[in-house]
Amino acid sequence: MNRRKFIQNTAITGAGIATGVSAISCKEGESKTSETKKTTITSISKPNYISISTWNTESANTASGELLAKGKSALDAIIDGVAVEEANEENTTVGIGATPDREGNVTLDACVMSPDGDYGAVLAVENIVHVAALARKVMEETPHVIMASKGAEEFAYSQGFKKEKLLTPASEKAWKEWLKTSNYQPAINVENHDTIGMLAMDTSGEIAGVCTTSGLGYKMKGRVGDSPIIGAGLFVDDEVGAAVATGMGEEVLKTVGSFLVVELMRNGMSPQKACEEAIHRIVKKGDRYKDFQVAYIAMNKKGETGSYAIHEGFTMMKYQDGKSENINSDYFNKA
């Protein structure tokens, strides 16, 4: 670990105080260098690494956290982490088994941002399960940042992705049931297991983020939500922090929500307060918020996190220094 990373990762307090040692062995070693020998570390305000994700996505978030613990980069950890959920047929809003559009096509959206501010996204992709990894390929292997639909799918095959049927017998059955009424009313907190947005900070203090989804169930053919759109569904600025959204994408898009959260943090707000303010920007537009859910999660460079939703029921998974918890998010609509 170089000196810059060491300083980034460590809150040094109590210069000259003789007691207290770092809980982190590699940092203990560094505290013995000539530059720092008069300084004893008495508190560490920042976790070694941290992964947070939307909803009750424990296996995915733990997978990411465990990779971070092994020293993997934030970018590697989140892509492999969300892949767990993309492959989970039980999750009806991500990857295989996801709810189709109203014509029965499962179309997926995803995007990723790296610590150096790079971005890649895929929109309305069919037949590919791991669209977060595909978004990373767009970011790293093409001169573009967004690829959509058939072009994105063909690019996926050129990169070795497999063609897979995303509509499962269960999601097909549910769609046929829906066709009986064709009532498009995205439900609030459908099953507390939804679009997955994940943010991670690795052991070198770098932050990356990802979002992957099938969008809103029974959407119109061709509809794209906030999740793959930079600044709306996801934003990462490694100097400041990161935010990711879930819920009614149209509302997140109209307020450029994740960018807003990061900019509010840049101006000094905590992740928690920044998420609250971004939700307030939506609800102050009128009473329509009563019928839809939006939630944000965020983290800053100190490893502090926050989450806030319009309605009760949203949870954030957090894996930090070996411990996983599912945190009930605070929310706006307490009426």
Tokens of 269: 């707000």
> Which residue type sits at 155?
F
Q: Which of 47, 100, 115, 215 binds ligand SD4 (CB under 6 A)?
A: 215
Which residue, 121, 122, 92, is CA-closest to 106?
A: 92
Those residues whose C-beta lies under 8 Å from the C-beta of residue 238, and which sit 6 or more positions away, are: 115, 116, 117, 206, 207, 301
Q: Is 9 among the residues that bind ligand SD4 (CB under 6 A)?
A: no
Q: Which of 226, 237, 238, 276 binds ligand SD4 (CB under 6 A)?
A: 226
| Residues 257 and 294: beta-carbon distance below 8 Å | yes
Helix (H/G/I), strand (E/B), else coil: 266: helix
Among residues 13 and 326, whose Cβ is nearest to ligand SD4? 326
Those residues whose C-beta lies under 8 Å from the C-beta of residue 53, and which sit 6 or more positions away, are: 60, 61, 64, 81, 82, 196, 197, 198, 199, 297, 316, 317
Q: Is 213 among the residues that bind ligand SD4 (CB under 6 A)?
A: yes
Among residues 100 and 303, whose Cβ is nearest to ligand SD4? 100
What string of DSSP letters covers 132-150? HHHHHHHHHHSS-SEEEHH
Smallest distance from ligand SD4 to CB 35, Å: 47
Within 10 A of 122 (CB to CB), how many other CB atoms are there? 30
As annotated, the active-site residues are 195
Among residues 48 and 255, whose Cβ is nearest to ligand SD4? 255
For ligand SD4, the binding residues in 233-252 under the rule CB under 6 A are 246-249
Q: Is 255 among the residues that bind ligand SD4 (CB under 6 A)?
A: no
Among residues 139 and 211, whose Cβ is nearest to ligand SD4? 211
Helix (H/G/I), strand (E/B), else coil: 280: helix
Site map (CB under 6 A) of ligand SD4, residues 262-301, x = contact: ----------------------------------------
Smallest distance from ligand SD4 to CB 236, Å: 17
Q: Position of tokens 């109203």? A: 102
Residues contacting ligand SD4: total by CB under 6 A: 13
Smallest distance from ligand SD4 to CB 127, Å: 19
Q: Is 225 among the residues that bind ligand SD4 (CB under 6 A)?
A: yes
Q: Is 86 among the residues that bind ligand SD4 (CB under 6 A)?
A: no
How far apart are alpha carbons 205 and 159 in whole angstroms? Answer: 30
Among residues 40 and 93, whose Cβ is nearest to ligand SD4? 93
How far apart are alpha carbons 292 and 186 in whole angstroms? Answer: 7
Smallest distance from ligand SD4 to CB 297, Å: 12
Beta bridge partners of residue 236, listed in sequence order = 242
Residue 245 Cα distances to 5, 39, 259, 306, angstroms: 29, 41, 10, 12
Among residues 65 and 257, whose Cβ is nearest to ligand SD4? 257
Smallest distance from ligand SD4 to CB 292, Å: 10
Sheet holding 119-125: strands in order across?
A: 146-148, 119-125, 108-113, 207-213, 196-201, 50-54, 315-320, 323-328
Among residues 8 and 59, whose Cβ is nearest to ligand SD4? 59
For ligand SD4, the binding residues in 163-202 under the rule CB under 6 A are 194-195
Q: Is 217 among the residues that bind ligand SD4 (CB under 6 A)?
A: no
Please give the residue ranges that form the binding site for ligand SD4 (CB under 6 A). 93, 194-195, 213, 215-216, 225-227, 246-249
